Every structure is written in C-alpha cells, then in structure tokens.
C-alpha cells in the first residue's frame, strides 16, 4: 500500500474518498466494538478507526499493534460526529475508517513516551535520539531550523551573494580556542586542523574578487562546553567588499525580520538599538546586555568618594568605582534572601555586598551609620528608588563591579519573571576594545580576532596606548545572548603586520602562520568586512529553548561525547600505525 496522502492533507474536502496512509502508531484505544488509533507521520496525527464489519482481519491486526509500530492503512475518509471532533488536531474534524492494514515493522516499547514535555534524563534522550526526534516539539525545532536556513539562502541570493564552500581540512593557527587536529597519513607527523571559522578563507575570497560571499559553515572548537556551546556548530558566515559598518548592519536588519516572520510568524521592529561597549559595561555589566527589562547600573562614585564608609572610599582611592543597581520591587526580600545575594556576589569576585532597603518610613541598611542622611537621599534619588526597592552596591575595580552587578541584575530579572522567552530585545554593541591584556601570556590579545580593523583615528595609538584602541567591530545581541559578531577587516599589509606585532607575533611567526594572507594583501585587496551568526543559538532563541542541543539533530553532551554512537572511541593499532601515531600511557 503506497501512501497517497500525508496525515494532515486529510480534510473535509476528501470525505468519501479512499486514501492510503503510512506512519507510526502514536496511541491505541480499544473500545470493544471499535478500535481507535492515532496515526502519526511527519506532518502530524490523524485518527483511524477499525470496525470488524468493514474488515475483520484488519480489526484483529489492530488488536495486536502497539505504540511505535510502523503501519500502512487504506480506508475511507469520514467526517467525525460533531460531539467527537478534536479541536487540538489539524485533522480533528475527520477520521479514516480502515478497510485494510499492513504492519510494516514492529517496535520494542520505547524507553520514554513519544510526547511533548517529558521529564526524562537528557542522556537517555541523547542515547535514543532517533526516538527523541519523533516527539512533536523536537520535530518542530528541526523544521524551524530548516525554514530559517532556507530563508537565509533566499535572502542573500536575492542580494547578489554567492554561496562558496571553504575547506574543512586546513592549517592550525592556534589563537583563541583549541583546534581539533587531524593527523595526516601522507605527511607523517603533520596535522590538519578543523576550522574554527572560515575567516581567512573568506578574506581570500574578497581578494579574489567574489565581493559578496556567504556559507552555512560547519565550525569546530575544542573548548569547554555550556548549554549554548557545542564542539561542532553551524554558523552563517558572510563577507562583503567595498562596504562599511552601516552596510552590514543594514543588511542584517533587513534579514532578521524576514527570518522571524518566516520561521515563527513574529514581527520584530527595526532598526535595532545601538549601544557602545563602554555604555553596555557601565549600565548592564556585560557586553551582551539583556534589554527585556530596563534596570540599569548607576555609577555613584562621585557621591560617595568622601563618605566614612571605608569600603567605598578605599575602592575609589585605589582607582576603582562604586556602582549601584536598583532591584525594583525586591525590598520585600527577607534578610536571608539578601544575604544569599551577598554570597552570590562573593562567588563572582566581590569582597562583599552593601545594600539599602527603601521603605515608606526609612532607609534600612547596615551602612547607614557610615553615610550622612543627605548623601543617602542623594543615592536614592540617583537610582530613582521608591519604597519597596532594594539597592545593591559594588565597590571594587570597574571590571569586578561590572561582573558582579551584571550577574545580580540578570539573576533577579530571571527570578522575577522579567525575562520572558516570548519577548525579543535586539541590540547592536559597537566600539569594542581592539585589544585586551592577557596577564598569563604577558601580552595583548585580540578581543575579536587579529584581522579586525582598528578605528582609523585610533591607529596611531597602536604603538603607544594599545589598550585605548577601538575596533571597527559590532555584535548583535538578542535577549542577553550574542547571536552574531563581525567587523570591518584589515586589508592593508602593513597595518596587518602592525596588528600581528601588537599581539606579540613577530615577523617570522607572522610569515610562517599567515604568509599567504600578507602576500595576498599585496595584490589589490579591497576594503571588506563581514559578520557570522550562530545558527544554533539563533534557532534556540526563536524556538524558546534553553539549550542549543534541542535544535541540533545529533548534538554532543557537555563532555563532548555522543551517547548514541559512543563517539569518540578508540581506534585500532593498525589505524594508529598508518598515521604514525602512538598512544602514550598517562
């Protein structure tokens, strides 16, 4: 019996017709004289009915099938009686009265229910991922991903981009995350590296005159994992010649509304807000601000520079800052809850946490005896605080205070339900530092990567004040998660060599690792820039999920392993010999 329709193709317009359906038994109900089966295929579910008066053999066969059996049925489409319609199903007004059935394959009892919202250990779900993907919510995640990727391709194709594949096997240039290395059989003792991104290749494509390139690229990073990281991931990678920052921002602000409309029927307004890196760190304590709620961190160093409270005064005297967060509505917290916030602050690097509870009658605080009443009122005014608010303080070096108060802001926002996954808050973050000092390496390192162009007016500072140089870089943040980042690139050989020198790569190392790029820049490299988006993260947010593993067909665990295939796994001594490798006992 060859399928004539998918389940959700069946509607009132086919009543009276004979159809053939193939699929899985989702559930079975025996009502004595009749047997009802919900038949599931990729499109959805439809109810099929077995009546012994129509076909006794099919009825008896239906008595023996169980959940997840694969079956083919042929029968007549009938309209359901009004009192039996199912408004939760697209096919809820019709059913199939079966005239014949064939069991295409039996099934063992699954280790968990094939339904949404199951409470099952994730390792078990990953071990039986082929069953997990049968669940409607997981199937919908993959269909959403498909729609997003298709829309990306259509949008960029319409604007003159060409999709070009770049190599998976390349040269190791260990800057940033660790490379995944691939030993070469033909070149014993030498290794390929899997790409962390197609960065260098796409810049070479600009030198080659392609002008507008994109790729749905597989990338690999051997790093510690989190809910939004995987050892292998997918990104939209694109590059354009003869552009500046505004061209790339305009391109993306045209694409995002289309992706959300096509993917999940959500309208998003453009243009997106723009925030400088310095403003983001000051107001939100992070360069990935969550703008779904409007709490802002306020610098009060000028108000408290001369108070008797030594924690504040000494922080300022040592070159630090005092900043505060108005946790609106948290004045009702019990003392033990406030103390717990203090413990969290210490975990994130603070030496402690001062606070003020604003009530109708007074300002309750352990620090009130050290600060004059007038100054306390000025603090309350600066933070626009009202009765019922809780003011939290950080006093330390600017980076520590930003980290601590940024964490507390986000923690309380989530706790109070201010971070609804259905609310979407985009923002561009720009004017990043080009370099940051790495105390372990005792040198400067690139904040984004070594091919990011400094702002033209800051180039003279590379030699004298490298920490003050700003990058022509931009990140797109959604709900406190960076979903994309890019920059205008260096296209001048001398400036690229200068950048290598700024991060401690001498001319010999630069020639050895990046000689091909330096050479290419001598043959008419155009000004160019681009951006890359994490498709896994983007689809995760669009689907309202907490982990990118829910939008990847076959993800790895947080230990970078696959429970379904048991990868990674040992290889045979013969394979090791062919690769000139030997496993050393540790």
Cβ-contact 206, 241 below 8 angstroms: yes
Residues paired with residue 471 on neighbouring β-strands, in sequence order: 454
Q: Determine the pLDDT at residue 175.
A: 62
Cβ-contact 532, 237 below 8 angstroms: yes
Number of H helices, E strands in the chain: 17, 22
pLDDT per residue as tens digits for the range 33-70: 999 999 999 999 999 999 999 989 999 999 999 999 99
Per-residue CA distances from 164 to 169, 216, 218, 254 (Å): 15, 9, 13, 22
Per-residue CA distances from 110 to 124, 129, 405 (Å): 11, 11, 46
Cβ-defined contacts of 133-139 (< 8 Å, 24+): 133/553, 134/24, 134/40, 134/68, 136/44, 138/550, 139/42
| Size of the chain in residues | 586
Per-residue CA distances from 113 to 86, 536, 550 (Å): 21, 26, 17
Closest of 392, 416, 385 to residue 340, by C-alpha: 392
Q: Which CATH architecture has domain 7-105?
A: Beta Barrel (2.40)
What does the alpha-carbon distance between residue 202 and residue 277 come to, in Å, rounded to a whole number?
26
Per-residue CA distances from 489 to 54, 143, 195, 244, 497 (Å): 72, 35, 19, 10, 13
Distance in angstroms between the alpha carbons of the first and the last residue of the chain = 59
What does the alpha-carbon distance between residue 195 and residue 214 come to, in Å, rounded to a whole number?
16
What does the alpha-carbon distance between residue 453 and residue 446 come to, in Å, rounded to a whole number?
11
Half-sphere exposure in the Cβ direction for 224 (13 Å, CA):
0
pTM of the model: 0.91
What does the alpha-carbon distance between residue 329 and residue 261 come to, in Å, rounded to a whole number?
35
What does the alpha-carbon distance between residue 39 and residue 104 come to, in Å, rounded to a whole number?
13
What does the alpha-carbon distance between residue 375 and residue 238 come to, in Å, rounded to a whole number?
53
| Residue 373 burial (C-beta neighbours within 10 Å; 0-12, 13-18, 19+) | exposed
Residue by residue, DSSP assigns 139-152 as HHHHHHHHHHHHHH
Q: Determine the pLDDT at residue 422.
A: 86
Q: How far is CA 510 from the centre of its chain?
A: 33
Q: Where are the domains of the chain?
A: 7-105, 293-419
Give the CA diameter of the chain: 94
Q: Determine the pLDDT at residue 176.
A: 67
Cβ-contact 412, 391 below 8 angstroms: no
Cβ-contact 482, 426 below 8 angstroms: no
Neighbours of 283 (CB within 10 A): 21
Tokens 């090791």 -> residue: 576
- Name every residue whose Cβ is closer than 8 Å to that of residue 331 and which is 6 or more positions away in sequence: 357, 358, 359, 387, 388, 389, 390
pLDDT per residue as tens digits for the range 162-221: 999 999 999 987 666 889 999 999 999 999 999 999 999 999 999 999 999 999 999 999
Tokens 């062919």 -> residue: 578
Q: Give 459's DSSP letter.
A: T
Q: What stretches in the chain show pLDDT beneath 70?
A: 174-176, 225-228
Half-sphere exposure in the Cβ direction for 351 (13 Å, CA):
9
Beta strand 162-163 with 94-105: parallel, antiparallel or unpaired?
unpaired
Neighbours of 562 (CB within 10 A): 16
- 293-419 has CATH 3.40.50.300 classification: no
Backbone torsion region of residue 19, taken as left when φ is above 0, otherwise alpha when ψ lies between -120 and 50, otherwise beta: beta
């Amino acid at each position: 019996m060859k399928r004539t329709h998918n389940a959700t193709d069946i509607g009132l317009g086919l009543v009276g017709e004979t159809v053939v359906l193939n699929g899985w038994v989702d559930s079975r109900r025996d009502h004595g004289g009749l047997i009802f089966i919900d038949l599931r295929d990729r499109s959805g579910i439809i109810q099929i009915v077995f009546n012994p008066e129509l076909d006794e053999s099919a009825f008896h066969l239906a008595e023996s099938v169980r959940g997840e059996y694969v079956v083919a049925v042929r029968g007549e489409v009938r309209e359901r009686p009004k009192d039996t319609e199912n408004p939760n199903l697209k096919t809820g007004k019709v059913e199939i009265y079966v005239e014949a059935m064939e069991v295409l394959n039996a099934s063992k009892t699954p280790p968990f229910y094939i339904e949404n919202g199951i409470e099952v250990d994730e390792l078990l779900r990953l071990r039986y991922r082929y069953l997990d993907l049968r669940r409607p919510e997981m199937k919908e995640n993959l269909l959403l991903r498909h729609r997003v990727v298709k829309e990306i391709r259509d949008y960029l194709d319409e604007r003159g981009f060409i999709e070009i594949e770049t190599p998976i096997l390349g040269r190791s240039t260990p800057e940033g995350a660790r490379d995944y290395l691939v030993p070469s059989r033909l070149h014993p003792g030498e290794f390929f590296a899997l790409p962390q991104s197609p960065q260098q290749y796409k810049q070479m494509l600009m030198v080659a005159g392609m002008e507008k390139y994109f790729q749905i690229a597989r990338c690999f990073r051997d790093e510690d994992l989190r809910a939004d990281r995987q050892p292998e991931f997918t990104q939209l990678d694109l590059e354009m010649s003869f552009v500046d920052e505004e061209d790339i921002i305009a391109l993306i602000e045209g694409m995002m509304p289309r992706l959300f409309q096509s993917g999940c029927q959500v309208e998003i307004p453009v243009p997106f807000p723009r925030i400088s890196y310095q403003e983001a760190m000051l107001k939100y304590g992070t360069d990935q601000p969550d703008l779904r709620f409007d709490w802002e961190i306020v610098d009060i160093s000028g108000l408290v520079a001369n108070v008797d409270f030594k924690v504040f005064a000494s922080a300022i005297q040592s070159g630090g800052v005092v900043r505060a967060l108005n946790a609106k509505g948290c004045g009702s917290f019990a003392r033990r809850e406030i103390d717990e916030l203090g413990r969290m602050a210490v975990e994130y690097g603070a030496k402690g946490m001062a606070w003020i509870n604003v009530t109708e009658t007074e300002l309750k605080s352990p620090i009130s005896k050290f600060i004059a009443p007038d100054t306390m009122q000025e603090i309350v005014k600066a933070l626009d605080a009202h009765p019922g608010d809780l003011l939290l303080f950080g006093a330390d070096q600017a980076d520590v205070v930003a980290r601590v108060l940024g964490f507390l802001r986000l923690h309380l926002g989530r706790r109070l339900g201010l971070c609804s996954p259905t609310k979407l808050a985009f923002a561009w973050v720009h004017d990043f530092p080009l370099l940051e000092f790495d105390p372990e390496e005792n040198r400067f390192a690139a904040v984004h990567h070594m091919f990011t162009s400094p702002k033209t007016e800051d180039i003279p500072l590379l030699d004298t004040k490298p920490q003050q140089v700003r990058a022509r870089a931009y990140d797109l943040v959604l709900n406190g998660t960076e979903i994309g980042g890019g920059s205008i690139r260096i296209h001048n050989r001398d400036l690229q060599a200068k950048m290598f020198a700024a991060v401690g790569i001498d001319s010999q190392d630069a020639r050895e690792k990046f000689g091909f790029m330096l050479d290419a820049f001598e043959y008419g490299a155009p000004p160019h820039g681009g951006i890359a988006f994490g498709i896994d993260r983007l689809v995760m947010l669009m689907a309202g999920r907490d982990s990118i593993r829910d939008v990847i067909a076959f993800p790895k665990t947080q230990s970078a392993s696959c429970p379904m295939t048991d990868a990674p796994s040992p290889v045979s001594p013969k394979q090791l010999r062919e690769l000139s490798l030997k496993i050393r006992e540790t």
